[in-house]
């Protein structure tokens, strides 16, 4: 047994601090309260935290674990390398190509809004990296891809290639593919890129897990896994190598594909949960592909719906009536209409089913919020998008959309469960403290507020990054707060975020991380 003491212990953001936590030999909380209220066993190990602050470990309710891991291990991460224009982007990719001299050149993280040219890098730009090796560079949002000529050739994308359903192939003035493909069109390339090996995938998952432990994250949801990913996750779980408790959302249909992937075999253990499925209703807001009723500024258009409603409803029903949770990527108001209408139909046919989620919930209308209230739908939101992608939002969205982008306050006041998350690698900073700051001040890249009436308090933001994520994964009985019977998953902070001025939140950082009462990270 272990006794955690000499700390400000926050068992829950809305409960008063306490003095001690006793952890049993199985790694679960046996007591929370005042020191003088506990009968301390003689064999208990005392963990003196030196006056620091102990909180429930963070939960990132939506982070692409294996995708981030590939950037940490084998792919080029142009988010972090400071590409300010096409010339620097090309140099970064060339340097990576020299380090990895064979096969495809793969990377992620460009953002046309931050490049000096202000536009996507076309095939002519990327041909300067290598005219002979295929190159595929995914935009930071994950919904748009830039290709060089060789990659277009291998994918057989020509002037005669039609746009797939739910996807777009950008073309030049002569009708030839420019190298930019959007949404479901990415499947045309993904199918010819050699698959990563199980060993590479395992290394990627574990690299992200190590990274997360340093941030005080002990549980997370990986919101896009295929049968191949699940096979590796199950193997890592069987070998007891998983470092972060991971909830997997199994995708039903890959980008642009017509094949429906099977419902996953349900599996729940201490470290791995597989009982949810994932759908993509639309694209990304920062790349102007989320499906909206209005029209995007600068680039025009209304985004992309990736499913016919009848098709979506049929696939959702298979999962719903078999007791699977559903998480659906829906950002634009047009996509939210489609998804929530489908959810209402599901619950009308079979009301005794798990709570479903909406991933992102970017631009809801009042009627969407009312629908979520009626159905008890969970909103998995990313306030961290505001500082990371605010430049894009101001470029593409009119003021009425900006005012209601990611409306965390409105959802909270409507008693809708709000789980906060990063969606990394869409953003370069997946630190929950940074996400909390974004929820509290809602500042863009220039420090100017977006939807300033939608701020959360620090306590509400902390709830969203702890218990909110646990509820969203269906595991609130096991973690998310420090309560008797739950796992002793803790983060030790240098300061108490609830009792400092909000402008000092950036000074808060993780000193130690505990999983089941064992220290798994120390700064």
| Among the ranges given (41-45, 122-126, 353-357, 445-449), the one the predictor scored with the smallest mean pLDDT | 41-45
| Among the ranges given (76-85, 265-274, 310-319, 456-465), the one the predictor scored with the smallest mean pLDDT | 76-85
Q: How high is the pLDDT of residue 82?
A: 66
> Comparing 166 with 420, which gets the higher pLDDT?
420
| Token output for 58 | 């963070």
In contact, 282 and 330? CB cutoff 8 Å: yes
Question: What span, in angstroms and rounded, lies between the C-alpha atoms of 160 and 169?
Answer: 11
Q: How high is the pLDDT of residue 246?
A: 98
Instruction: Give the H or E element holding residue 21.
Output: strand 20-23
Question: What span, in angstroms and rounded, lies between the C-alpha atoms of 68 and 289?
Answer: 22
> Comparing 369 with 82, which gets the higher pLDDT?
369
Tens-place pLDDT, residues 26-84: 999 999 999 989 888 888 999 999 999 999 999 999 999 999 999 999 999 988 666 78
Q: How high is the pLDDT of residue 163?
A: 93
Tens-place pLDDT, residues 100-119: 888 999 999 999 988 999 99
* Terminal C-alpha separation, the chain: 24
Q: In the predicted model, what is the mean pLDDT of residues 416-424? A: 98
**CB contact set of 521 (below 8 Å; sequence gap of 6+):** 213, 214, 216, 510, 512, 513
Question: What span, in angstroms and rounded, lies between the C-alpha atoms of 277 and 284?
Answer: 19
pLDDT more than 90, % of the chain: 92
Tens-place pLDDT, residues 230-241: 999 999 999 999
The yes-or-no verdict on residue 93 having pLDDT over 80 is yes
Residue 425 pLDDT class (50, 70, 90 cuts): very high
In contact, 203 and 70? CB cutoff 8 Å: no
Q: How high is the pLDDT of residue 255?
A: 67
| Token output for 170 | 């950008």
Q: In the predicted model, what is the mean pLDDT of residues 267-283? A: 97
pTM score over 0.85: yes
Q: In the predicted model, what is the mean pLDDT of residues 177-191? A: 93
Question: Minimal CA–CA distance to 99: which of 74, 125, 116?
Answer: 74
Residue 315 pLDDT class (50, 70, 90 cuts): very high
Chain Cα centroid distance, residue 337: 22
In contact, 430 and 478? CB cutoff 8 Å: no
Residue 165 pLDDT class (50, 70, 90 cuts): confident
| Token output for 35 | 């020191």
The yes-or-no verdict on residue 444 having pLDDT over 80 is yes
In contact, 363 and 285? CB cutoff 8 Å: yes
| Token output for 272 | 């791995």
The yes-or-no verdict on residue 483 having pLDDT over 90 is yes
> Comparing 368 with 113, which gets the higher pLDDT?
368
Q: How high is the pLDDT of residue 102?
A: 87
In contact, 424 and 431? CB cutoff 8 Å: no
Tens-place pLDDT, residues 374-392: 999 999 999 999 999 999 9
| β-pair partners for 449 | 443
Backbone angles phi, psi at 432, to 5 degrees: -55, -30
Residue 151 pLDDT class (50, 70, 90 cuts): very high
In contact, 32 and 490? CB cutoff 8 Å: no
């Amino acid at each position: 047994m272990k006794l955690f003491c000499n700390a400000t212990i926050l068992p829950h953001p809305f409960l008063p601090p306490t003095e001690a936590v006793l952890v049993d030999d199985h790694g679960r909380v046996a007591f929370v309260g005042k020191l003088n209220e506990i009968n301390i066993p003689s064999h208990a190990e005392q963990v003196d935290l030196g006056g620091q602050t102990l909180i429930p470990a963070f939960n990132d309710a939506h982070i692409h674990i294996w995708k981030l891991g590939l950037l940490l291990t084998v792919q080029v991460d142009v988010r972090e390398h400071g590409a300010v224009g096409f010339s620097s982007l090309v140099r970064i990719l060339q340097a990576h190509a020299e380090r990895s001299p064979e096969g495809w050149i793969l990377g992620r993280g460009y953002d046309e809004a931050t490049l000096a040219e202000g536009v996507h890098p076309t095939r002519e730009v990327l041909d300067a990296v290598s005219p002979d090796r295929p190159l595929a560079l995914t935009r930071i949002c994950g919904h748009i891809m830039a290709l060089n000529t060789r990659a277009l050739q291998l994918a057989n994308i020509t002037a005669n290639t039609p746009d797939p359903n739910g996807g777009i192939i950008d073309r030049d003035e002569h009708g030839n593919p420019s190298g930019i493909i959007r949404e479901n069109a990415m499947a045309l390339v993904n199918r010819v890129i050699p698959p990563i090996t199980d060993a590479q995938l395992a290394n990627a998952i574990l690299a992200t897990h190590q990274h997360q432990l340093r941030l005080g994250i002990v549980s997370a949801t990986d919101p896009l896994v295929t049968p191949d990913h699940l096979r590796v996750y199950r193997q890592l779980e069987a070998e007891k190598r998983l470092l972060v408790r991971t909830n997997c959302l199994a995708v039903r249909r890959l980008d642009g594909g017509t094949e429906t992937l099977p419902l996953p075999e349900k599996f729940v253990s201490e470290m791995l949960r597989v009982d949810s499925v994932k759908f993509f209703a639309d694209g990304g807001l920062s790349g102007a592909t989320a499906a909206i009723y209005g029209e995007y500024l600068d680039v025009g258009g209304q985004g992309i719906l990736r499913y016919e409603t009848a098709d979506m409803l049929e696939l959702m029903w298979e999962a719903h009536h078999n007791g699977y949770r559903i998480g659906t990527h829906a950002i634009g108001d047009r996509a939210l209409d489609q998804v929530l209408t489908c959810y209402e139909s599901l619950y009308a046919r079979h009301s005794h089913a798990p709570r479903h989620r909406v991933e992102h919930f970017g631009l809801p209308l009042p009627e969407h919020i009312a629908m979520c209230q009626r159905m008890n739908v969970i909103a998995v939101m990313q306030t961290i998008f505001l500082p990371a992608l605010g430049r894009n939002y101001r470029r593409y969205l009119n003021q009425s959309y900006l005012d209601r982008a990611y409306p965390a306050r409105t959802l909270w006041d409507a008693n809708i469960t709000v789980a906060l998350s990063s969606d990394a690698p869409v953003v370069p900073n997946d630190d929950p403290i940074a996400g909390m700051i974004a929820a509290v001040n809602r500042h863009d890249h220039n420090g100017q507020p977006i939807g300033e009436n939608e701020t959360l308090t620090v306590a509400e933001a902390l709830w969203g990054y702890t218990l909110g994520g646990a509820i969203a994964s269906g595991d609130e009985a096991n973690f998310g707060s420090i309560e008797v019977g739950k796992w002793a998953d803790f983060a030790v902070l240098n300061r108490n975020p609830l009792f400092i001025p909000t402008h000092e939140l950036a000074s808060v950082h993780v000193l130690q991380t505990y999983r089941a009462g064992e220290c798994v990270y120390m700064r």
